[in-house]
Amino acid sequence: MNHFTPILSLACIASLLAIGETYRDYSSPYVDPCGASATQAHDGDIAYNPIPSSSSRQKRGATAIRERLWPNARIPYKISPTFDSYEQSLLYEAMRQWEARTCVRFYERPSTHNQSYAYYFKGGCCASYVGRQSVSYQQGISLGSGCTTISKYLHEIGHVIGFWHEQSRPDRDEYIRILTENMNPGTQSNFRIQEEIDSMGVGYDYNSIMHYSSTTFGSGRTTLVAHDSSIPVGGAVELSELDILQANLLYQCDSENPPPSELPPPVASDLEQTLPDLPDCHMDFNNDYEGVVKSDNYPSTYSPNQNCAYRIRVPEGTKTECDHC
């Protein structure tokens, strides 16, 4: 059973439409992690530009290359104007959750800024680079079709901060087993081990927001399992305690006395927005609802390529439980 904590309200958006955007900021090179300009593709949602390392390679979950860290744990960002108010509020909430218990801070890129910054846009996939890529660089974080959930936003921001996938750790085979026979054709490379990883002594985290689910790239078939069959693997919808610990260790900063946030405060009107004009495929639930959410007209024939929206309203501070999400 998955648990997640909504802030004022929870919206689950299921999008089946391809979303694309053409954008270029001529003040610095634009690199789309979904496009051919990315030097190498890794692990499904990671783009990778090699950076010569001044540090030795080490073991486990975050980048071991110090040049990939953001100076003073401060990450400048810019958000594409094509995000609607709900998507923006969800993105701000994901950044707030990373800030809440770590010393990492996000701030909007000033117009005079000429250093690397994170650019959130609607590309053709859910993808990001790992950490900062160079001194002067606009690096894209693609949050396109099918990405509009708090867990996916948290995950991609984790890559921006400097995290690889948890199951890419060099010691992962001590904890999980990879079932290559169940993988979709051509996806085996997404499960490779990465040597450019350091977890700073933190144990393997089955609950990490950076961990694949047990059926990733398997079309419903199990592709990875824990050696201890009683341990569920992946599928996190919030940051784990070890995600938080590693972020603070990675940036070697004081999470108890962090600098103030520079993100805008939550706006109730953003989170309480009305559903988009989708008369054929949307549902709005109150906190006392119990039932099953299905595709429109399921199990009978239903139209392909529908854009569906499902929103659940609950009191602040409560949790919503969802089976088989």
Cis peptide bond upstream of 50, omega within 30 = no
Q: How high is the mean pLDDT in each 10-residue block of the chain (325 residues)?
A: 32 23 35 54 52 33 75 96 91 96 95 88 89 82 89 95 94 97 93 86 95 93 96 93 95 87 79 53 66 67 67 67 65
State the pLDDT at residue 200.
Answer: 86
State the pLDDT at residue 199.
Answer: 80
Locus of tokens 């939550």? 266
**So which residues are the catalytic ones?**
156
pTM: 0.71
Which string of b and e fits 284-313 if b means at least 16 CB within 10 Å? Answer: ebeeeeeeeeeeeeeeeeeeeebbbbbbbb
**CA 252/CA 157 separation, integer angstroms:** 19
Token output for 278: 């989708």
Binding residues for Zn(2+): 155, 159, 165
State the pLDDT at residue 232.
Answer: 93
* DSSP state for residue 45 in the 8-state scheme: T
Binding residues: 155, 159, 165
Beta-bridge partner residues of 11? 311
State the pLDDT at residue 120.
Answer: 96
State the pLDDT at residue 98.
Answer: 97
**CA 320/CA 325 separation, integer angstroms:** 12
Beta-bridge partner residues of 283? 310
Return the number of other C-beta atoms located less than 10 Å from residue 12's C-beta.
19
**CA 19/CA 4 separation, integer angstroms:** 26
**CA 124/CA 38 separation, integer angstroms:** 13
Contact present, 30 and 157 (Cβ < 8 Å): no
Contact present, 1 and 323 (Cβ < 8 Å): yes
State the pLDDT at residue 57.
Answer: 30
State the pLDDT at residue 36.
Answer: 41
Token output for 137: 């660089």
Contact present, 187 and 217 (Cβ < 8 Å): yes
AA letter at 96? R
State the pLDDT at residue 191.
Answer: 93
State the pLDDT at residue 216.
Answer: 93
* DSSP state for residue 9 in the 8-state scheme: B
Contact present, 171 and 60 (Cβ < 8 Å): yes
**CA 271/CA 283 separation, integer angstroms:** 16
State the pLDDT at residue 27.
Answer: 35
